[in-house]
Amino acid sequence: MTFSHDALIFTPADVDLTKSPLAGKVDAETYVLGAFNPGMTRLANGNLLLMVRVAEALRTPIQDQHIHAIRWFDGGYCLDAWPLEYVDTADPRKFMMRAAGWKIMALTSISWLLPVELNAAGTRVEQVHYDKAVPPRAPYQCYGVEDARISKVGGRYLMTTCSVSPERHSTTLYTSDNALDWTLEGIVLDHQNKDMLIFEGLIGGKYFAQTRPLGDLYFAYPPGSEWRAGPSINLASSPDALHWKPYDKPGIRPHAATMATARMGGGAPPILTPEGWLSLWHGVEPAGVVGIYRTYWSLLDRDDPSVVLRTADAPLIEANAALTDRLKDLMYLDNVVFTTGIVDAGDHYIVASGEADLACRVTWVAKAAFG
pLDDT tens series, the chain, 371 aa = 899 999 999 999 999 999 999 999 999 999 999 999 999 999 999 999 999 999 999 999 999 999 999 999 999 999 999 999 999 988 767 899 987 788 899 998 999 999 999 999 999 999 999 999 999 999 999 999 999 999 999 999 999 999 999 999 999 999 999 999 999 999 999 999 989 999 999 999 999 999 999 888 999 999 999 999 999 999 999 999 999 999 999 999 999 999 999 999 999 999 999 999 999 999 999 998 889 999 999 999 999 999 999 999 999 999 999 999 999 999 999 999 999 999 999 999 999 999 999 999 999 999 999 98
The pLDDT, as a whole number, for residue 194 is: 87
The pLDDT, as a whole number, for residue 371 is: 84
The pLDDT, as a whole number, for residue 318 is: 98
**Contact predicate 295/281, CB 8 Å:** yes
DSSP for residue 260:
T
The pLDDT, as a whole number, for residue 102 is: 85
Coil, helix or strand for 179? coil
Q: How many CA atoms lie within 13 A of 303 on its CB side?
A: 0
| C-alpha to C-alpha distance for 343 and 352, rounded to whole angstroms | 9
The pLDDT, as a whole number, for residue 135 is: 98
The pLDDT, as a whole number, for residue 92 is: 65
Given phi > 0 = left and psi -120 to 50 = alpha, else beta, which region is 101? left
Contacts of 179 (CB under 8 A, 6+ apart): 41, 43, 49, 115, 150, 152, 157, 159
Given phi > 0 = left and psi -120 to 50 = alpha, else beta, which region is 214? beta
SS3 per residue for 189-216: ECCCEEEEEECCCCECCEEEEEEEECCC
Report the candidate in 59, 78, 62 with the shortest Cα–Cα distance to residue 17.
59
pTM over cut 0.85: yes
The DSSP-derived string for 130-141 is GGG-B---SGGG
